[in-house]
Amino acid sequence: YIESTQKVDLAHIESIQPYKIEQYMIIDSASRRNLEITETMREGKKKGSLLWVLDKTSTAMGGRLLRRWLEQPLLDADEIRMRLDAVEE
């Protein structure tokens, strides 16, 4: 499917991991809005949100990854430590 839709060489993809919803904290839309994780309540913009404060990424892919990490927090302490180690590097 990816080869036919993306029309690019996929040699850079080393593995595919299934998405397991039980690994992530579920944040309802009201809580997400009140916490202003990706956009502010008042203006609905990124500026002023948690994502805006933390986003020092250099690439669009890094920005998307950070956004996903904020929107889907992990539950497993070991996985959280691995993320922290990755960010420190």
Could you identify the residue written with the tokens 């927090």?
A: 73
Q: Which of 12-21, 34-43, 74-83 has the lowest mean pLDDT?
A: 12-21
DSSP string, 9-70: --TT--------GGGB----HHHHHHHTSSS-TTT--STTSHHHHH---SSHHHHHHHHHHH
Determine the CATH number of domain 18-88.
1.10.1420.10
Strand partners, 24: 74
- CB atoms under 10 Å from CB of 30, counted, come to 8
Does the pLDDT of residue 80 top 80, yes or no? yes
Residue-wise pLDDT for 19-69, tens only, equals 899 999 999 999 999 999 999 999 999 999 999 999 999 999 999 999 999
User: How far apart are alpha carbons 58 and 44 in whole angstroms?
Assistant: 24
Domains of the chain, residue spans: 18-88
